[in-house]
A and B are shown apart, each in its own frame.
Chain A
Amino acid sequence: MNRSIVCGSVTTAIKAKKALINQGMKAHVERLNRASEIYGCGYCITVPSAQLSQALEILNQQLIRYKGVLEEDN
């Protein structure tokens, strides 16, 4: 099971992915699927559910801004 962190742009998503991978985490960039009606196109970082809080902590520490976390699978 994965969770998706919504990013403001593909640049932020790639930056976030690299930050997480540098910390030994699994992460990849995806285009937002069902969330288009909320965000109007965009990108997210998908991480294993169990690592979500750790991922958010890393992003916060590195001042990488994200828009939110999807409640369900992207």
Chain B
Amino acid sequence: MIYFDNAASSFPKPRGVAKAISKAVRSYGANPGRSGHALAMRAAEKIYECRQRAAELFGMAEPERVIFTQNATAALNLVLKGIMSGGGHAVTSDLEHNSVRRPLLAMADAGVDVTEARVDFYDDDATLRSFEDALRPDTRLIAVTHASNVWGNVLPVRSLCALAKGRGIPLVLDASQTAGKLDISMADGYAAVCTAGHKGLYGPQGTGLLLLAQGLYLPTLTEGGSGAASLDPGQPEDPPERYEAGTLNTPGIAGLFEGLGYVMDNSAEEIGLFERELCLHLFTELSRMTGVRLYTPVTARSAGLLSFNIEGMASEKVAAALDRAGFCVRGGLHCAPSAHRRMDTLKSGAVRVSFGAFNTHRQVDALLRAVYKLAVGG
């Protein structure tokens, strides 16, 4: 099988990832931060090393503000619900994944009102104006995806961050499709960055990161054991333990440590550039094919993914046919109905091809031949 579903979860992983997971299970499978014996301390040291590595990659001075979560969705729920716990107005884009959209909509009864600002695919200034127009005196949050998980376009998040800072509004970045592919620095002023560990950071599934800016203090979503101050009825005040009730995923975090190492050794920018090259290759050839519909351009600022349709075929059928031909791609709505509404693909869905660091141009050529057979015949 040739894997082109890296936007859902990257595969394969760098060689060291499985080895690190296995080693954690076999050699130091104790509970970090609970006991004082040698194995528990070894597990806790590995967890801390992973925090340090993530902090370095994302330009953070304090490793303890790297919070481990189960996935990006859990990170987003924690921060979005925390910031909006008192109600108020939030602004998102019209391309958001349900991991941003649903937590905010679920707070409607708590007095949370959401405006979706329109993203212009060709004009960043227009996007910026759209966000500016959406702000109100009671706006308490801007939550925005770094890149659409359907169309691959990258939003002008640094400019949006400057806009948010100027208004004293926290900006939460969903970097699920860009972490490990584009340079992201907390120094740019994000209140929080949320991402999966198992996509561009090449860790295993079951890992996610919440990166919290200094000074951002949130109510907890989950309470429980933290391994310290057990007599206190409340959660600890300080991160990360405040937000990490219960036992951590030590094997997963050990794997994520190796994934982060792979990204840092190879450079996020270089990996992103390579994936864009593959994406541009696919886009260029698909755009010449009769019966294939493309939606957004692949530019120097795209994430390494695109979506297309074949005229007269449902996207899920195309994905199933490609599966039979040996390719892993994803049809349907990609948990992002707003992004599909935008392109009028809510009924058909679209076929998404998303690249990882281990894909090759030869694999893209093989996919192109398979799509050609479906679209044109032969």
Closest beta carbon of chain B to A33's beta carbon, Å: 8
Give the segment of B44-52, B89-97, B138-146, B356-364 that binds chain A: B44-52
**Interface SS majority for chain B:** loop
A39-B231 in contact (CB<8A): yes
Q: Which A residues lie within 8 Å of B47 (CB)?
A: 11
Q: Which A residues lie within 8 Å of B241 (CB)?
A: 8-9, 11
Q: In the docked arrangement, what's the CA distance between A29 and B38, Å?
A: 10
Q: From known contacts A29-B41, A31-B35, A41-B227, infer whether A11 and B232 are also in contact, taking CB-CB under 8 Å.
A: no
B51-A11 in contact (CB<8A): yes
Q: Which A residues lie within 8 Å of B234 (CB)?
A: none
Residue A40 is within 8 A (CB to CB) of chain B in the complex? yes
Residue A15 is within 8 A (CB to CB) of chain B in the complex? yes
B227-A9 in contact (CB<8A): yes
Q: In the docked arrangement, what's the CA distance between A40 and B48, Å?
A: 22
Q: Which A residues lie within 8 Å of B231 (CB)?
A: 39-40
A9-B236 in contact (CB<8A): yes
A15-B64 in contact (CB<8A): yes
Closest beta carbon of chain B to A29's beta carbon, Å: 6
Nearest A residue to B232, CB-CB: A40
Residue B230 is within 8 A (CB to CB) of chain A in the complex? yes
Q: Which B residues lie within 8 Å of A29 (CB)?
A: 41, 44
Interface residue ranges of A1-41 to B (CB < 8 Å): 7-12, 14-15, 18, 29-31, 39-41
Q: Which A residues lie within 8 Å of B33 (CB)?
A: 9-11, 43
**Interface SS majority for chain A:** mixed
Closest beta carbon of chain A to B69's beta carbon, Å: 15
A40 touches which of B35, B36, B230 (Cβ 8 Å): B230
A10 touches which of B63, B227, B232 (Cβ 8 Å): B227
Nearest A residue to B36, CB-CB: A31
Residue B229 is within 8 A (CB to CB) of chain A in the complex? yes
Residue B226 is within 8 A (CB to CB) of chain A in the complex? yes
Q: In the docked arrangement, what's the CA distance between A14 and B33, Å?
A: 10
Q: From known contacts A14-B44, A14-B45, A29-B41, infer whether A41 and B240 are also in contact, taking CB-CB under 8 Å.
A: no
B44-A42 in contact (CB<8A): no
Q: From known contacts A8-B236, A10-B33, A29-B41, infer whether A42 and B228 are also in contact, taking CB-CB under 8 Å.
A: yes
Closest beta carbon of chain A to B98's beta carbon, Å: 32
Q: Which A residues lie within 8 Å of B228 (CB)?
A: 7-10, 39-43
Q: Which A residues lie within 8 Å of B133 (CB)?
A: none
Interface residue ranges of B203-237 to A (CB < 8 Å): 226-232, 236
B48-A39 in contact (CB<8A): no
Residue B272 is within 8 A (CB to CB) of chain A in the complex? no
Q: In the docked arrangement, what's the CA distance between A29 and B51, Å?
A: 18
A12-B64 in contact (CB<8A): yes
A11-B230 in contact (CB<8A): no
Closest beta carbon of chain A to B107's beta carbon, Å: 30
Closest beta carbon of chain B to A67's beta carbon, Å: 9
B63-A8 in contact (CB<8A): no
Q: In the docked arrangement, what's the CA distance between A18 and B45, Å?
A: 10
Q: From known contacts A15-B48, A15-B63, infer whether A10 and B32 are also in contact, taking CB-CB under 8 Å.
A: yes
Starting from the known contacts A8-B238, A11-B64, A43-B228, 7 additional A-B residue pairs (CB-CB under 8 Å) come to A7-B228, A8-B229, A9-B226, A10-B228, A15-B64, A29-B44, A40-B229
28 chain-A/chain-B pairs, Cβ below 8 angstroms: A8-B228, A8-B236, A8-B238, A9-B236, A9-B238, A9-B240, A10-B32, A10-B228, A11-B33, A11-B44, A11-B48, A11-B63, A11-B240, A14-B48, A15-B64, A31-B35, A31-B36, A39-B229, A40-B228, A40-B230, A40-B232, A41-B227, A41-B228, A41-B229, A42-B227, A43-B33, A43-B36, A43-B228
